[in-house]
Amino acid sequence: MTRWPILRYLLSSHTVFLLLVLIPIYLFVGVVVGAVSIYVDIRLSGVDVVGQVLPWAALGYGASTSNLLPTMLVHGRTRREFLTQHPIFQVITTGLVAALITGCYAIETAAYRALDWEQKVQQQRIYAADEYGTIFTAYWSMLLIWLMVGVFVGVAFYRWEAGGGLALIPAAVLVVLSGGVNGFFSLPFARTDLPLLPVTVVAVAIAYGLLWLSGRDVSLRAKVA
């Protein structure tokens, strides 16, 4: 039997798909920025503006995973396997996406410098446009936490239906906390002074723990999409 079949499947299909979707999006951003520059002076990083959307996309994609868990069970896999291999997929995929985005910042920096444009990022960010190490870490942290939270919420709703709404409470806490620490939210109580790595590890561990509790013995519904 193939080892880590769920992980292999997800990396060979979902990860590749997500990367292939992101590349044209960023190319499109370049085209839009170029078109806008005809009429106004460019002062903002286009990559940074689009980056604001990505954590939300990760949250939604994660929530849709509730369809994937029953499918895996129908194909003879176990919940334990899924709850072990899917998080590894999340770590790898969000890392690759964060690297791709960081690369886009770097390409944009080079292009803006050549054209003598100002590459400002949004005020609440914890990085400047050329601080690639922090950019990578912030995106990886945000995407991973929000993806894990999304999966937890999706599985909780799958398991408890309307009762899964209670999952939104811890999910909201994790989303707001991580958004503030990573500089994606501009909130009055946001704490950008907290250490990023420990906060990420704790938030991911909490989200994973909640996911495990929701999915470890979940029953398949009579009707699957």
Helices vs. strands in the chain: H and E counts, helices first: 9, 0
Of 77 and 120, the one with the shorter C-beta distance to another protein is: 77
| Residue 33 interacts with another protein (CB under 8 A): yes or no | no
Per-residue binder mask for another protein (CB under 8 A), 145-184, x = binder = ----------------------------------------
Q: Which stretch binds another protein (CB under 8 A): 48-56, 69-77, 131-139, 184-192?
A: 69-77
Element (H, E) at 189: none
Residues 6+ apart with CB under 8 A from 24: none
Residue 116 has which token pair?
């003598």
Per the CB < 8 A criterion, the answer to whether 196 and 138 are in contact is yes
Rounded to an integer, what is the distance from CA 81 to the centroid of its chain? 22
| Residue 102 to residue 179: CA distance in whole angstroms | 18
Candidate segments 46-54, 65-73, 137-145, 146-154, binder of another protein by CB under 8 A: 65-73
Nearest distance, CB of residue 18 and another protein, angstroms: 15
Indicate whether 77 belongs to the interface with another protein (CB under 8 A): yes
37 makes contact with another protein (CB under 8 A): no
Report how far residue 211's alpha carbon sits from residue 59's, in angstroms, rounded to the nearest whole number.
Answer: 14
- Pick the binder of another protein from 9, 132, 160, 212 (CB under 8 A): 9
CB of 219 to another protein, least distance (A): 4
Burial class from Cβ neighbours inside 10 Å (0-12, 13-18, 19+) for residue 106 reads: middle
In the beta sheet, which residues pair with residue 44? 120
Residue 43 binds to another protein (criterion: CB under 8 A): no
Q: Does 217 bind another protein (CB under 8 A)?
A: yes
**Amino acid letter, residue 195:** P
**CB nearer to another protein: pick between 33 and 83:** 83
Per rule CB under 8 A, is residue 52 in the interface with another protein?
Answer: no
Contacts to another protein by CB under 8 A: 1-2, 5-6, 8-9, 12-13, 67-68, 70-81, 217, 219-220, 222-225
